[in-house]
A and B are shown apart, each in its own frame.
Chain A
């Protein structure tokens, strides 16, 4: 039985359809992340699950019960808001115990629950402060504590980290992951940050225009995207899309990339990655998707035995990040980003020998941006 199941949920605002038949199911203890650009409907879906917005049609089930028309209070869920939404007039203790008090938990039990959560989140020393006396990270912690104290069936997180500064965000991300591993809670988490999605999720639902485009593990979504949108959205720097023409026949497909002022670049497509659909596309324009890490600099010591397809290009910009170096280089008509090791010494304007790991490349139809291979 799923902890949370959404069946064909639609939501209209006036004449605008914000959610178009969204269906998904989450197992108990699963960490699901809804990710997508702003306006994709992820927050609307979250509000529908919480019961803050009625759905236009469809059903929402929590722990096997139909809660579509139940009030937020009756659904046994807790939510962490982007703005934290701490009650300003109450102390941290009051904030955490308010929900328990509303559920008529006896005072002694409430206090025990507050202590438990305060210990868990290491904020016992903050219990008697007001939200206005807390830093951003502490408020975030209290907001999580308020949710945890209730021990609901499902936790909802609505972009909980986006108001924190970069360093704190990474720390809290780790902390959320630890908490989830320890408590085994069921979490639905909305974010527009694909790194958060990759690092935290058991499964990711990539949304766009009120649809779920792809629902899968971080590995599936990252390495096996269903279309160009998902491929481009996940990953930073994002995937390079290179216009190419598909040539050849089964067993010897190749991609021809027309490069201005140079010879055409021809990349053979690995046999094990062929799909039947490719045959129909021979002679047509396709899009080759290569992530920055699919490139690597040619290592002379490994000459002759390195894997991947060799190519060379003139580097236009080199951006060292410390851990590695991002290179911009023209490939086909546009520039691509390649991620190489931090020891790669190359000046802008120089030619660099690279290898491309075609076994991990993905191929899209150009016309409808769907996956071809």
Chain B
């Protein structure tokens, strides 16, 4: 039911079949690792050592998942990745919200309340998108120490907010620059101030870019390993670090099913965010505010 008129010759149809065949194969190829992970995570250990990678489980079991969540050993402790999963949520949620909010305010100020040097400031902030994480590890550790929040969740939140602002500012600045400044002028004449205009006029039309910013930040921060491993203590580690520890902890038989289940646990939230928020991605909410 697509809206295109196509050639209807046999050759053209054949090409389309071939095209779709290639696309389907490519899609399956990309899906394969996920399939292997899911299958392996619900197989008992003996089926893994006996069967092939792609064979379906004979006796599906959720035992590897419960073990990965609550009992598997990560280094010296054997409490599973569950606690670290909670850690990740406790770090990611505030970090995403704070960095998105600051990015929105920055973008708003940089486009609607221009000041001398605002373009230069934006260019410098953009530079922050290109700084490799490794470069700041030592100075950041020092700073966190001075602030007295090293190895804490608060420290990790701060690091992620600082690094995220460059991106979120970029997103919101480019979104707000397309929103007519006359909207802000009208609100000023109506008597609204800086924050009121932001809250009542701009934020309600920012849903598409908020979704973009949240998805981006959530994925970045959830998947972060380097900062997680560098700036956390044992009880504040994010799930990515715990997963690494779990897989690297060798006590006797290697439990691939538990490893896979733990990896799935660590990957699910980002998947979920895409599935839930993806449909809000692009929406012309400002359509109609100006001539249409």
Evaluate contact between B288 and A79: CB separation under 8 angstroms. no
User: Is B205 part of the contact surface with A, judged by Cβ < 8 Å?
Assistant: yes
- Interface pair A72/B292, CB less than 8 Å apart: no
Q: Is B186 at the interface (CB under 8 A from chain A)?
A: yes
Within 8 A of A (CB), among B23-53: none
**Could you tell me the distance in whole angstroms from the C-beta of B116 to the nearest C-beta in chain A?**
11
Number of interface residues of A (CB under 8 A): 33
- Please give me the residue from chain A that is nearest to B193 by CB atom: A73
Instruction: From the candidates B192, B193, B285, name the one contacting A88 in the complex (CB within 8 A).
Output: B285
Q: Does A225 contact B (CB under 8 A)?
A: no
Report A-chain residues with C-beta under 8 Å of the C-beta of B152. Answer: none
Contacts of B183 in A (CB 8 A): 85, 87-88
A88 touches B288 (CB 8 A): yes
How many residues does chain B have at the interface if contact means C-beta atoms less than 8 Å apart?
25
Query: Counting CB contacts under 8 A, is A24 at the interface?
Result: no
- Of the candidates B182, B189, B200, B290, the one having the most CB atoms from chain A within 10 angstroms of its own CB is B189
Residue in A72, A89, A132 whose beta carbon sits within 8 Å of that of B204 in the complex: A89
CB < 8 Å neighbour of B291 from A51, A136, A150: A136
Within residues 54 to 108 of chain A, which ones have a CB less than 8 A from any CB in chain B? Answer: 71-73, 77-79, 81-90, 98-99, 102-103
B196 close to chain A: CB less than 8 A: yes
Q: How far is the CA of A88 from the CA of B160 in the complex (A)?
A: 33
Map CB proximity to A onto B194-233 as digits: 1 under 8 Å, 0 otherwise: 0010001100110000000000000000000000000000
User: Does chain A have a CB within 8 A of B278?
Assistant: no
**Chain B contacts with A in 246-284, Cβ cutoff 8 A:** none
A82 to B191, CA, bound (A): 20
A132 touches B289 (CB 8 A): yes
Shortest distance in angstroms between B104's beta carbon and chain A's nearest beta carbon?
A: 15
A197 CB → nearest B CB, Å: 22
CB contacts (< 8 Å) of B201 on chain A: these are 87, 89
The answer to whether A79 touches B186, judged by C-beta atoms less than 8 angstroms apart, is yes
What are some 15 contacts across the A-B interface (CB < 8 A)? A51-B188, A73-B193, A77-B189, A81-B185, A82-B182, A83-B182, A84-B290, A85-B180, A85-B186, A87-B200, A88-B285, A88-B286, A89-B285, A132-B288, A132-B289
User: Known contacts being A83-B180, A85-B180, A85-B185, is A103 close to B191, with CB within 8 Å?
Assistant: yes
Q: Report the minimum CB–CB distance from A68 to chain B (whole Å).
A: 16
Residue of B nearest to A102 (CB): B191
Tell whether, in the assembled complex, residue A99 and residue B191 are in contact, meaning their CB atoms are under 8 Å apart.
yes
Cα A85 to Cα B200 in complex, Å, equals 14
